Amino acid sequence: MSILVNRNTRLLVQGITGQSGAFHARGCMEYGTNVVAGVTPGKGKQSFDGKIPIFDTVSQARKRTGCNATMIFVPAPFAADAILEAADAGVELIVCITEGIPVMDMMRVKAVLKDSKSRLVGPNCPGIITPGECKIGIMPGYIHKRGNIGVISRSGTLTYETVWQLTQRGYGQSTCIGVGGDPIGGTSYLDVVKMFADDPETKGLILIGEIGGDAEEEAAAWIKTNFKKPVCAFIAGATAPPGRRMGHAGAIVAGSSGTAAAKIEAMRAAGITAAETPAMVGETMIKLLKS
């Protein structure tokens, strides 16, 4: 098993004719993802690479191809509307890679999706991959290996580092998901933890967090009483100056809230093993699986 995506996922790409959308759509196709359609308003009835039909609207693409997931590479000023269009069309999984979406736009999206059957991953995220089955996003596919370790992260590059450590040691991943680094997003850390808890194929879990917000603490509190599998974590930003945003829009600390120290303390209080450096995450997880 896996979570959210597998070989049956039928992917739509919103913004497929843009430079980034085209590049990463090809990357997903080369990995083996079943890309069934693209959407670029005004370019309907054309095709992408001579084989993927392009539609003017998500609704048209949904009706014609039965797509059940979408990957969004629409520029930030229009990305919120792209998310809402996908939700209105009933697309079950929406993965928004776009960064820089205005916070007010995402507040509007959040309110609408609350009563929707669609699930949003992101924005400002690397995407999601079930190794050997489906890749939706910008992650390098070759570093992944099919296996039984789940990975949740707010950082794309730290995800790649962790995955490569596992793969080099012969340990594969069940699903890797980047939830995004913006203040307001879709699927939360806790949402994904619960999915991995219910996935019999996932035997261990890695959490990669960073300063800002309380998503990691919320997940740790639930893990303490509900999650029975070994969990390893790494929190980035231990040396970040207070009050300064570091990298992601959501990575800002106000007072004592959201600090790396507070998050690490919450992890350890929940029985989660916290790695001291990114280079130690893979080996720490492997040791937990062997113990």
pLDDT tens for 199-226 read: 999 999 999 998 877 889 999 999 999 9
* Pair (75, 170) in one structural domain: no
Number of domains into which the chain is organized: 2
Residue from 214, 203, 205 nearest 258 by CA: 214
Residues 244-263: tens digit of each pLDDT: 555 544 444 444 557 888 88
Q: Which residue has the tokens 């990669």?
A: 208
The reported pLDDT for the residue numbered 274 is: 93
Tell which residue, 287, 4, 65, has the closest CA to residue 16. Answer: 65
Range of the domain at 94: 10-121
One domain, residues 75 and 183: no
- The catalytically annotated residue of 121, 248, 251, 266 is 248
88 shares its domain with 186: no
Residues for the chain: how many in total?
291
Residue 5 is assigned to a structural domain of this protein: no
Closest CA to 248 of 215, 212, 204, 283: 212
40 lies in a domain? Answer: yes
Nearest Cα residue to 230 out of 154, 162, 291:
291
CATH number, position 148 = 3.40.50.261
**What tokens does 129 get?**
């991959």
**Are 236 and 207 contained in the same domain?**
yes
Residue 181 lies in a domain: yes
Give the model's pLDDT for residue 280: 96
pTM of the entire structure? 0.93
Active site annotation includes 24? no
Distances 145 to 131, 163, 165, 166 between C-alpha atoms, Å? 6, 8, 11, 8
Q: Do 188 and 79 have their domain in common?
A: no
The residues that bridge with 71 in the sheet, in sequence order, are 13, 95
Which of 161, 121, 139 lies closest to 30 in space, CA to CA? Answer: 139
Give me the residues of the chain with pLDDT under 50, please.
Answer: 248-255
CA 1 to each of CA 24, 39, 187, 229: distance values in angstroms, whole numbers, following the listed order: 25, 30, 20, 16
Closest CA to 189 of 214, 171, 165: 214
**CA 115 to each of CA 63, 118, 211: distance values in angstroms, whole numbers, following the listed order:** 22, 9, 30
What is the C-alpha separation between 272 and 152, in angstroms, rounded?
14
